[in-house]
A and B are shown apart, each in its own frame.
Chain A
Amino acid sequence: MAPDIHPLMLLVASIFTSNILLANFLGMCSFISISKDIKSANGLGMAVTVVLVITAALNWAILKYVLIPLDLLYLRYIVFIIVIAATVQMLEMIIDRVSPGLYMALGIFLPLITVNCAILGVALFMEIRSYTFTQTLFFALGSGLGWWLAIMALAAIQKKIQKAPVPAGLQGPGIVLFTIGFMAMAFIGFSGMVNVQ
């Protein structure tokens, strides 16, 4: 049974209250490593959002029309990963041809998305929570935008941190992890707004 949540509500919830990064802690590796400058963070955020929406839609269709009817739900992990890898590959080829400028802006980040756990996480949430197709689309879009927002925020904060007197023992990843913790606490402040599980 699909939960009775309006897709727009789901969109807002997945951006703020249950942010895929700061509430569910998915997609941390690229979040930490690519957040050193705003331009790259922006490119990666955009790429994650696009890939999320496309793969969520494809995975929803495969789940609904192949895996559930054949009672092969236990294959979902491997199938989702195949779909994600193939989508990223195709997207890379198409962007390279259609928009070389965007292809260059994304650079190495596009292939890196294949191993971004936020993408697989969204596909699995969509399955566990039995979302409808529209709900899935809005949830995926919201999660992508939320991830984008979080990495842009962290990149901006890191720019400030570069000029701050950070204690020697905390420099580098240490202070970044602290920052992410504080950001997560701030995002929890949104949780009264809408609550979606």
Chain B
Amino acid sequence: MDLSFLEAPLIIAGITGVFAGVIAILDSIVNNYGTVTLSINGGKKELSVEGGTNLLNTLSSEGIYLPSACGGRGSCGACKCQITSDVGPHLPTETPYLTKEEMKDNIRLSCQIKVKTDLNLQIPDSLFNVKQIKSKVVTIKDVTHDIKEVVFDLQGETIDFVAGMYMQIVVPGYGKIKGSTQRAYSISSNPSDNGMCELLIRLVPGGIATTYVHEHLQQGQEMELIGPFGDFERTMDDTIMVCVAGGSGMAPFKSILFDMLEKGETGREVWYFFGARTLKDFFYMDQMKELEKQWSNFHFIGALSEPQPEDDWDGETGLITDVLDKYLKEKMGDKKKQGFLCGSPGMINACNNVMTDNGITLDQIFYDKFA
């Protein structure tokens, strides 16, 4: 039998095989970085890890979770950390997320840095506290037509957080969305309830995580949470706290205010301005009224920008910034004040302007920078 027709396929297979073999051998030699040491915060923690993967994943496999909203795809710019040893110049994938000052300080996006040699890192100490927790959804409640209050049971785990911090939820792939997505939401529950976690999630049209929570998430379902993160918290002095929020920006203030009440910090004067369009966007009014009753120095000012006739609204109307301006000028006196903001970037900008016009300097205004 003539087998010469096998010659061509065999030659192709042979050549391909030889190259595949060479590549495989080369890969195991070249990409074997061996064990490297990560020295965190000047030797406070030393990790021996396998080199070859990116820093974000290497750290999370060792139980240290840097904040990350995109899961390491380099599209959120959240996983910043300072690398004090030399890892080469900034990559084109990093520069859009870093300011000039950050670049000078060797701040890097950890998801873009491949661990090849021993590294010295600086991360906030609070990140050692971050855990990945398999939680269970206890309740999902509509608080307005587009905001859901979701309560997670941490199933025996606890989170140690300061009121105002946020958690990341890990949304599994669904429908056309491949791979998991992480998004950050401020914790609205009280720090003393550390076996559970309550988040307020507003539906963003087209949003991956919010659509999942609003349309797919079921009671009793398990969900990964990572956190707590963030440095938005109340100061511990005697200034007047001026808090401004809109929509799901209610979350950190609910946590902060009830924490203050519980810890007996009711001597401090607090003004909380909450803005909504119509009454149907307004929520937690009862809880705030209740808080006012128990805490004479607490003032809750709700304002509707477009009150409807059927709302029967007798409170403040207009944009929350105008209401804020009026109160700052007319009702709140000359005592030193501090600003606390949570809402859209546009709202934060506008409030910053109103507050600085009324003598609150920018270093006395606090907010989280995520939208």
Question: 0/1 per residue, A92-105, Cβ < 8 Å to B?
Answer: 01101100110010
Query: What 1/0 mask marks residues of chain A from 57 to 100 whose CB sits below 8 Å from any chain B CB?
Result: 00000100011001010010011001100100110011011001
A-B contacts, CB under 8 A, total: 48
Shortest Cβ distance from A178 into chain B, in angstroms?
Answer: 30
A79, B7: Cβ atoms closer than 8 Å: no
Nearest A residue to B20 via CB reads A86
Contact A101 B26 (CB under 8 A): no
Residue from B12, B19, B27 with most neighbouring chain A CB atoms (10 Å): B19
Total interface residues in chain B, CB < 8 Å: 19
If over half of A's interface residues share one DSSP class (helix, strand or loop), that class is named, otherwise mixed; here it is helix
Contact B19 A86 (CB under 8 A): yes
Instruction: Determine whether B285 belongs to the interface, using a CB cutoff of 8 Å to chain A.
Output: no
Instruction: Of the listed stretches B66-74, B84-92, B320-328, B332-340, name the one at the interface; the rest are far from the partner chain.
Output: B84-92
Q: When chains A and B are docked, how far (Å) is the Cα of A89 from the Cα of B116?
A: 19
Chain B at the A interface: SS class: helix
Contact among A70, A82, A90, A107 for B16, CB-based, below 8 A: A82
Partner of A83, one of B11, B19, B27, B88: B19
- B7 x A72 contact (CB < 8 A): yes
**Closest Cβ–Cβ distance, residue B16 to chain A (whole Å):** 6
Assess whether B31 is in contact with A93, with CB atoms less than 8 Å apart. Answer: yes
Contact B15 A62 (CB under 8 A): yes
Tell yes or no: B3 within 8 A of A by CB. Answer: no
Interface residues of A (CB under 8 A from B): 62, 66-67, 70, 72, 75, 78-79, 82-83, 86, 89-90, 93-94, 96-97, 100-101, 104, 107
15 A–B contacts, CB within 8 A, in A order: A67-B11, A72-B8, A75-B11, A79-B12, A83-B15, A83-B19, A90-B22, A90-B26, A93-B26, A93-B27, A94-B26, A94-B30, A97-B30, A100-B88, A100-B116
- Those 7 A-B pairs whose CB atoms lie nearest each other, nearest first: A86-B19, A97-B30, A93-B30, A100-B88, A90-B26, A82-B16, A89-B23
